[in-house]
Amino acid sequence: MSKIKGFCCNYTLSVEVDALKEEGLVPEDLEIERLPCTGRLEVPEILDAFTKGAEAVFVVGCQVDKCHNLSGSYRASKRVKYAKKILEELDMNPDLVEMFFAGRGETEPVVEAARTMASRA
């Protein structure tokens, strides 16, 4: 498992992660998992990423009012919030998981999210 794990909505990131790595835009130890919608993401998947070795986890979904599936990214943000609570209960830094929002096809916010989380790991 890479040190930084990202879950991205299929409508946000428009560039392959390997291309971003070749450009040196994102950390080498970044792994991105694309989801049809971040609303599909459940709390156990976030926690399991840590169990498998991730040091920081982030989720990038559509802007809340522009989610392709209406409320998917909003639901994801609530699950991230609950994952933070569990991390706190486990004496982990809750900032090691974070929710970000990006416009359709925007790569830059995903790159920024990956860098932010790498700095927290």
Q: Are 43 and 75 in contact (CB under 8 A)?
A: no
Task: Give me the least distance between CB of 80 and other proteins, in Å please.
Answer: 13
Q: Are 4 and 55 in contact (CB under 8 A)?
A: yes
Judged by CB, which is closer to other proteins: 34, or 52? Answer: 52
Q: Are 7 and 37 in contact (CB under 8 A)?
A: no
Interface ranges with other proteins (CB under 8 A): 42-45, 47-48, 50-51, 82, 86, 89-92
Task: Give me the least distance between CB of 61 and other proteins, in Å please.
Answer: 20
- What is the C-alpha end-to-end distance of the chain, expressed in Å? 14
Judged by CB, which is closer to other proteins: 81, or 104? Answer: 81
